[in-house]
C-alpha cells in the first residue's frame, strides 16, 4: 500500500517524495549555483504535485555532478550559500528535505567529504552524514568517520540516511536498524549498469531488517559523458516494491510510509525476525539464545586485522586506475566506539 503513490496520507503515515533530479555538469561556481536553484525549484514542485508530502529526498550529486572534481571553488561548506538555500526553501515550503553536497575537508584538504544533510520543516539541519563507503576506485572522497546516524524525522519516524555504495554493504542497513531506524533513505548518482544490484540491495536491506527503504538516483545526461539511471524505489518491510521510478529526469515518485507496519513486525514476529535473532541465536534450545559473536570478520575488524581469504590477490587497491595519485594520509576517526 502506497497511499495511491503518495497522493493520500492516512493517520500514522508520512509521505516521502523521491526526486530523480536532472544530472548536471558542474565545473564552476556559476554551475553550482544553477544546480542549487534547480534543486530548490524541485522542492517547490514536489510540494505542489504532492500536497501531503512530508519529506523530499534528493539524489547524491544533485548539486555537484559526476565529474568527481575536487576543485575548491565548487566545494560547499555547512555555512555556505548552498546549505542556506536548502534551509530557506524547506522553511518556505514547510517540508523536510534531504540534500547532497561535496564539503571541504579540513582533515585532508585534497579529499572532500561526500555529505548528506537532512533539514526539517523549520529550516534546521537535524542530521549530518558523511558517506562511509566512497565508490572506490572511482570516487576521491574521504571515508566517512562519524558512523551511521539515526534521527527522528517527520511524524516521529526514525530514519537513517546512507549514500549510494553504502547500500551494497548489508552491515550499513543492519547498523541503521539496530539503532532503531524504521526507514532507510538511500541517495545515489548510479548509472544504468547498477540497476539490477540497486533493486536487489534495496529489497534485501528492507526484508533483512523489517524496515522501509526509500531510494533515488540522479537521472538524465550531463551532456558530455555520464547518464544516470533515476530508478526511485520504495520497498516495504517484507521486501516488496511499493513504488518505482524510471529514467526520466526530474520525475518525482512518492509513497506513503506507515511505520506501524515495521513496529508490529519487530515486536510480534517469530519467524524471520532477523534483527532480534542475530543476537539471540537458537533461543528455542538455549535460554535467551546465544549472544556471542561467531563472525570472524567482525572480530578481526574490531582488532584491526580485517583481511579476506583472497586479500593478497586483490589487484585494485587504490585510485590510480582512475587517475588519482596513491594516497599517503592515514585515516582520522572521529567516532567514539562503545566497548
DSSP letter for 98, please: E
Q: What is the pLDDT of residue 142?
A: 97
Distance CA 157, CA 97 (A): 14
Segments of the chain scoring below 50 in pLDDT? 338-339
Characterize the bridge pairing of strands 55-57 and 13-20: parallel
Q: What is the pLDDT of residue 262?
A: 98
Instruction: Locate the domains of the chain by residue range.
Output: 3-271
Q: What is the pLDDT of residue 339?
A: 39
Residue 60 known to be catalytic:
yes
253 and 245 Cβ atoms separated by less than 8 Å: yes
* Domain 3-271 = CATH 1.10.357.10: no
Q: Put residue 137 in one of left, alpha, beta given phi > 0 → left and psi -120 to 50 → alpha.
A: alpha
Active-site position among 40, 76, 90, 164: 164
Active-site position among 131, 231, 243, 255: 131
98 and 17 Cβ atoms separated by less than 8 Å: no
Distance CA 80, CA 237 (A): 38
Instruction: Give the three cell numbers for residue 146.
Output: 562519524
Q: What is the pLDDT of residue 171?
A: 98
Instruction: Give the three cell numbers for residue 256.
Output: 506513503
Residue 334 known to be catalytic:
no
Distance CA 121, CA 43 (A): 12
The C-alpha angle 274, 278, 283, rounded to 5 degrees, equals 95
Active-site position among 40, 60, 103, 255: 60
Residue 131 known to be catalytic:
yes
241-270 confidence digits (pLDDT tens): 999 999 999 999 999 999 999 999 999 999
Q: What is the pLDDT of residue 336?
A: 58
Amino acid at each position: 500500500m502506497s497511499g495511491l503513490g503518495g497522493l493520500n496520507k492516512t493517520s500514522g503515515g508520512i509521505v516521502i517524495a523521491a526526486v530523480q533530479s536532472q544530472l548536471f555538469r558542474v565545473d564552476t561556481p556559476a554551475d553550482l549555483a544553477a544546480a542549487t536553484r534547480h534543486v530548490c525549484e524541485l522542492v517547490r514542485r514536489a510540494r505542489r504535485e504532492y500536497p501531503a508530502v512530508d519529506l523530499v529526498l534528493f539524489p547524491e550529486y544533485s548539486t555537484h555532478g559526476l565529474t568527481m572534481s575536487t576543485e575548491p571553488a565548487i566545494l560547499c561548506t555547512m555555512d555556505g550559500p548552498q546549505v542556506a538555500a536548502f534551509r530557506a526553501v524547506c522553511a518556505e515550503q514547510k517540508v523536510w528535505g534531504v540534500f547532497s553536497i561535496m564539503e571541504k575537508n579540513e582533515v585532508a584538504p585534497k579529499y572532500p567529504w561526500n555529505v548528506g544533510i537532512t533539514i526539517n520543516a523549520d529550516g534546521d539541519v537535524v542530521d549530518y552524514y558523511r558517506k562511509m563507503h566512497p565508490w572506490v576506485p572511482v570516487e576521491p572522497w574521504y571515508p566517512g568517520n562519524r558512523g551511521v546516524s539515526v534521527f527522528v524525522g517527520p511524524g516521529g519516524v526514525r530514519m537513517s540516511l546512507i549514500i549510494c555504495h553504502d547500500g551494497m554493504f548489508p552491515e550499513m542497513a543492519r547498523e541503521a536498524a539496530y539503532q532503531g531506524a524504521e526507514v532507510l533513505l538511500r541517495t545515489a548518482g548510479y548509472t544504468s549498469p547498477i540497476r539490477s544490484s540497486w533493486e536487489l540491495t534495496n529489497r534485501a536491506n528492507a526484508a533483512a531488517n523489517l524496515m522501509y527503504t526509500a531510494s533515488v538516483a540522479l537521472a538524465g545526461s550531463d551532456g558530455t559523458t555520464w547518464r544516470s539511471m533515476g530508478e526511485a524505489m520504495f520497498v516495504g518491510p517484507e521486501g516488496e516494491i511499493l513504488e518505482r521510478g524510471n529514467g526520466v529526469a526530474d520525475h518525482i515518485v512518492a509513497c506513503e510510509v506507515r511505520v506501524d507496519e515495521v513496529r508490529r513486525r519487530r515486536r510480534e514476529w517469530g519467524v524471520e525476525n532477523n534483527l532480534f535473532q542475530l543476537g539471540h541465536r537458537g533461543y528455542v534450545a538455549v535460554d535467551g539464545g546465544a549472544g556471542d559473536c561467531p563472525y570472524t570478520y567482525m572480530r578481526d575488524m574490531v582488532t584491526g586485522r580485517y583481511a579476506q581469504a583472497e586479500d593478497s590477490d586483490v589487484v585494485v587497491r587504490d585510485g590510480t586506475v582512475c587517475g588519482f595519485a596513491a594516497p599517503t594520509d592515514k585515516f582520522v576517526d572521529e567516532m567514539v566506539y562503545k566497548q
